[in-house]
Amino acid sequence: MCGTWRHGSASRNLKYDLRTGCKAIEISANESTLSILGSITAKCTQSSSIPLNSKPLQNQSDFCVFWEPLLDLMIVEVNGKNHTLCKPEDLQENCCTNLSPGKQKNAGLYGIVNGSIHGDIITKNVMEKYTFEGQSINCKEKFCDEAISQTSRGANMIENVVMKSNTTGRVNLPCAQSTVIEMEEGFTGLQLTLPASGTEARNMIPSVYLPSCLKSATKSISKVVCTYYKDKNLFQGGPSDSTLLDDVVGLSVENEIIKNLPEPVIITFYHLPFPQVEQKATVRHLEALTFITAVGCAVSLVSCLVLFYWLCKRRIGKKNQTSLVHRGLVVAIFLLCLFFILTGPVANFGNKTACEITGSLLHYSLLSTLCWMAMEVFHTFLLVRKVFSSNIPPWVFYLGGFGLPALLVIILLSIGDIYGEKKIVPSENITGPYRMCWMLEGDKSLLAHYIINIGLLAVVVSSGAVMLFLVVKEIRNRPEWKKIHVSFLSIWGLTCLFGTMWGLGFLDFGPLSEAALFLFCIINSLQGFFLMLRYYALERMKKKDDSSSDGSSSASSKQHMLQTHEKS
């Protein structure tokens, strides 16, 4: 409480009589005496009178009464001079606080005017007496609640109040445990284990080494407070999945700013052995890889649209299984690139159902792309071996390219907890993970990933490698070999683009892992673009051969190697 004391010109006194308990406190004033009487302290019992020697102006003095129940501290300030009525003690468990205005008594000429609480005026009238009634509470719990609510300065509040307490040794609070040490003359350094709650194992409690240079050379005694926090809500940001340990240690030296120490303060933390600590895998250069893949997918999207138009235009008036397989692969790659671009924004949107649907569609597109690549490898093998008699119905290709992936995804959706938001953590910034809609990290999702995704990818990559070997074996002894090297390179490129280059994903280990990742993202995200270039190159070579052909067998063989149409 604060106010202005109107008094006479004679000598003045500050009278106080304080007792333990939690009843009420009276603040009164008359012509010569300002009185503080009551029963609100936890341990302090004081009764005395202090003469006030300051010379006020116009027979009035400004005063404030400060009460800190946690410290059992009471200070009265009169005309800028502090008078400590109750010195600080240990932090009190139970204390008298929440003082509320009670009975008031009016005065005539002398008394208290403009009485206020925390700046709020109670009354502007001249009052002889103010009465405030207290309430007994658990002060430590209330103080911790206030500190936690002040996330930007909660830890400072705790260390300041411990520093102000008239105690050394251990100080316990529900939200922190502190040790107060007085560094005296001749301090040579100290190794101490911080206090902790009874639930903490002794061998897991942090320790602190205080060097001798921490003590101020200009002071005979320097007080230092070491505080061990287990509630991370005291700090801005609160708990985070990206932190390795929950322990926080605070260190404060009384009235000192510590910097440029010749010997460091050493804080030692203990944690579980490595195999028992949950580790989150991180990805190096995640931002660059994501950007490269997104740009490549955008280019492939446009390329797939152009290529699909060319294939449909070529289809008019013809029945061509080669074009059918190409169209299926182009559609699958288009969907894969589209849903990959959408997966990040949908995950950041925060809708769980939408993310689950997007993740399942992305998985379907990937499986469909792998299936169509496998059929491209098989169909190209038939063309190279010149197996024209096979008449495979179109629905077989559609069933394998679109139907089988749909069946697998429907089965996984029926199992549940397979698709949703996945966080990929960059090694450069573990607090800012990349969110995407994909398969979760649970046991069921990992099992499905290894069996379906890795299994199908292994089949596509291995079949592509086997086919390349068979093609070389088939045509190496032909007389047209030297004349059809362009065709061979085209078939080899087809095999790589339709499966072999996805095998780079298996090289994500060792010193070449980063190079393999970048090549994987660049080549496979641009797969639609490469397909368009290949088709364009084949068409140009075919037109060139048609214009220069004289009907020779070599020209005919070259044309078959470039683009062979099956009868359907």
- How many domains does one find in the chain? 3
Model confidence band, residue 557 (pLDDT cutoffs 50, 70, 90): very low
Show the tokens assigned to 152.
């930007």
**Structure pTM?**
0.53
Average the pLDDT over 256-276 and give the result. 76
Confidence of residue 275 (pLDDT cuts 50, 70, 90): very low
User: Do 176 and 268 reside in the same domain of the chain?
Assistant: yes
The conformation of residue 456, written as its DSSP 8-state character, comes to: H
Domain containing residue 385: CATH number: 1.20.1070.10
Q: Which of 127, 1, 150, 146 is nearest to 62 (CA)?
A: 1
pLDDT per residue over 504-530, tens digit each? 888 877 777 888 889 899 988 988 888
Of 384 and 120, which is predicted with more confidence? Answer: 120
The pLDDT of residue 437 is: 94
Backbone angles phi, psi at 362, to 5 degrees: -65, -40
> Picking from 26-40, 356-370, 379-393, 481-495, which range would have the lowest pLDDT averaged per residue?
481-495
Q: Is the pLDDT of residue 566 over 70?
A: no
CA–CA separation, 122 and 291 (whole Å): 64
The pLDDT score that the predictor gives to residue 495 is 58
| Mean pLDDT of all residues in 177-205 | 78
Is the pLDDT assigned to residue 164 strictly greater than 60?
A: yes
In a domain, 143, yes or no: no
Task: Tell me what pLDDT residue 536 has.
Answer: 82
Q: Which of these, 164, 175, 163, lies nearest to 138 by C-alpha position?
A: 175
pLDDT tens-place string over residues 424-455: 888 777 777 888 999 998 889 999 999 999 99
| Token pair 């102006």: residue | 57
Residues 380 and 511 both lie in one domain: yes
Most confident of 186-200, 281-295, 382-396: 281-295
Q: For residue 228, what is the enclosing H or E element?
A: strand 222-229
> Beta strand pairing status for 266-268 and 207-210?
antiparallel
Position 482 scores a pLDDT of 54
With a cut of 60, say whether residue 399 has pLDDT above it: yes
pLDDT, position 377: 78
Instruction: Tell me what pLDDT residue 303 has.
Output: 93
Q: Residue 91: which residues within 8 A CB-CB, separation 6 or more?
A: 70, 71, 139, 140, 161, 162, 165, 167, 171, 172, 173
Give the pLDDT of residue 278. 46
Report pLDDT for 568: 31
Instruction: Write down the pLDDT at residue 419.
Output: 94
Run of H or E including 138: strand 127-138
* Pair 393, 449 in one domain: yes
Give whole-number Cα distances, 10 to 7, 51, 123, 436, in Å. 8, 12, 26, 81
Predicted local distance difference test score (pLDDT) of residue 545? 65
* pLDDT at 276 > cutoff 60: no
Please give the Cα distance from 320 to 335 (Å, whole number). 23
Res. 292 pLDDT band, cuts 50 70 90: very high
The secondary structure of 360-382 as a DSSP string is HHHHHHHHHHHHHHHHHHHHHHH
Q: Which residue has the higher pLDDT, 553 or 458?
A: 458
Q: Are residues 85 and 181 in the same domain?
A: no
Q: Which of 337-346, 497-506, 526-535 has the lowest mean pLDDT?
A: 497-506
Q: Please, which pLDDT band fits residue 333 given cuts at 50, 70 and 90? A: very high
CA-CA distance, 568 to 564, in Å (whole number)?
A: 13
Residues 6+ apart with CB under 8 A from 536: none
Concatenate the DSSP letters of all residues of 231-275 into one string. -GGGSTT---TT-S---EEEEEETT------SS--EEE-----GG
Distance CA 346, CA 363 (A): 15
Q: Are 5 and 29 in contact (CB under 8 A)?
A: yes
Q: Which stretches within 476-512 are classed as H helix?
A: 485-497
Q: State the virtual CA torsion across 496, 498, 500, 501 in degrees, nearest 10.
A: 80
> Which of the 8 DSSP states describes residue 101?
E
Residue 384 has pLDDT above 70, yes or no: no
Q: How many Å apart are CA 360 and CA 91, to the nearest integer?
A: 58
Q: Are residues 220 and 115 part of one domain?
A: no
For the chain, give the percent of residues with pLDDT over 90.
32
Rounded average pLDDT over 315-328: 73
Q: Is pLDDT of 308 > 70?
A: yes
CA-to-CA distance for 70 and 89, rounded, in angstroms? 9
User: For residue 329, is it within any domain?
Assistant: yes
Q: Which of 247, 276, 305 lies at the terminal end of a domain, its last residue?
A: 276
Per-residue pLDDT at 429: 75
Report the percent of the chain where pLDDT is more than 70: 82
Residue 390, pLDDT above cutoff 70 = no
Per the structure, the complete domain to which residue 455 belongs is given by 282-561
pLDDT of residue 486: 55
pLDDT of 553 above 50: no
Assess whether 115 and 196 both reside in one domain: no
- Shared-domain flag, residues 410 and 539: yes
- The two tokens of residue 476 are 């190496």
Strand 190-193 vs strand 176-183: parallel, antiparallel, or unpaired?
Answer: unpaired
CA–CA gap between residue 228 and residue 58 (Å, rounded) = 52
Q: CB of 158 within 8 A of CB of 177?
A: no
Average pLDDT score over residue span 46-72: 88
CB count in 10 Å sphere of residue 72: 25
Are residue 215 and residue 74 in the same domain, yes or no? no
Domain end, chosen from 276, 300, 323, is at: 276
> 333 is written with which tokens?
């790659």
| pLDDT at 169 (0 to 100) | 86
**Residue 415, pLDDT score:** 92
Mapped onto helix, strand or coil, the DSSP state of residue 444 is helix
> Which residue do the tokens 């689950």 mark?
356
Q: Which DSSP helix (H) or strand (E) runs through 115?
A: strand 111-117
At residue 471 the predicted structure's pLDDT band, cuts being 50, 70 and 90, is: low
In a shared domain, residues 308 and 341: yes
**Rounded distance, CA 411 to CA 405, Å?**
10
* Token pair belonging to 169: 């040794």
Phi, psi of 427 (to 5 degrees): -70, -25
Mean pLDDT on 298-309: 93
Q: Give the single-character DSSP code of 566.
A: P
| Ranges 38-42, 527-531, 549-553: which has the least confidence | 549-553
Q: Are 297 and 525 in contact (CB under 8 A)?
A: yes
Residue 136 burial (10 A CB sphere; 0-12, 13-18, 19+): middle
- For residues 67 and 550, which has the higher predicted lDDT (pLDDT)? 67
- On whether residue 144 sits in a domain, the answer given is no
What pLDDT, on the 0 to 100 scale, is given for residue 481? 53
Task: State both tokens at 175.
Answer: 């939200």
Q: In whole angstroms, give the CA distance from residue 552 to residue 554.
A: 5
Using CA atoms in the order 256, 257, 258, 260, what is the torsion angle rounded to 10 degrees? -130
Average pLDDT of the residues in 251-278: 76
In a shared domain, residues 125 and 42? yes
Question: Residue 154: what pLDDT?
Answer: 80
Do 162 and 107 have their domain in common?
no
Q: Which has more pLDDT, 423 or 241?
A: 423
Alpha carbons 12 and 533: distance in angstroms, whole number? 101
User: What's the confidence (pLDDT) of residue 312?
Assistant: 85
Please provide the average confidence, as pLDDT, over all residues in the chain.
82
DSSP H or E stretch at residue 104: strand 94-106
Tally of helices (H runs) and strands (E runs) in the chain: 13, 22
End-of-domain residue from the set 276, 309, 338: 276
pLDDT on residue 18: 93
Whether 209 and 177 have beta carbons less than 8 Å apart is answered as: no
Which tops the pLDDT comparison, 71 or 314?
71
Are 308 and 453 in the same domain? yes
Within a domain: 568:
no
Q: Is residue 566 part of a domain?
A: no
> What phi and psi values does residue 403 have, to the nearest 5 degrees?
-75, -50
